[in-house]
Amino acid sequence: MPPMTLSTLSLLWATGLFAGFVDSIAGGGGIISLPMLMATGMPPHAALGTNKLQGSFGSLTATINYSRKGLVSLREIPMGVTWTAIGAATGTLTVQWMSASFLSHLIVILLMGVFLYTIATPGMGRVDTRAKLSRPVFFTLAGFGLGFYDGFFGPGTGSFWTMALVLMLGLNLKRATAHTKVFNFTSNIVALAAFFMAGQVMVPAGVAMGFGQMIGAYLGSHLVIRRGTGFVRVFFIIVVAATIGRLGYTTYFAQ
How far is residue 63's CA from residue 187's CA, in Å, rounded to a whole number? 13
CA-angle at 156, arms to 197 and 239, nearest 5°? 130
End-to-end CA distance of the chain: 23
pLDDT at 126: 87
Find the domain containing 229 and state its range: 6-27+43-252
pLDDT at 26: 85
- In a domain, residue 37? The reply is no
- In a domain, residue 55? The reply is yes
Summarised one tens digit per residue, pLDDT across range 69-85 is 999 987 889 999 999 99
- In a domain, residue 116? The reply is yes
pLDDT at 99: 63
pLDDT at 172: 94
Maximum distance among all Cα pairs of the chain, rounded to whole angstroms = 53
- In a domain, residue 32? The reply is no
pLDDT at 102: 65
- In a domain, residue 176? The reply is yes
Contact by Cβ (8 Å): 111, 49: no
The residues of the chain scoring below 70 in pLDDT are 1-2, 96, 98-104, 255
> H/E element holding 158?
helix 157-169
pLDDT at 47: 86
Instruction: Give pTM, 2 decimals.
Output: 0.88
Report the number of distinct structural domains present in the chain: 1
- In a domain, residue 34? The reply is no
Give the number of other CB atoms < 10 A from CB of residue 253.
7
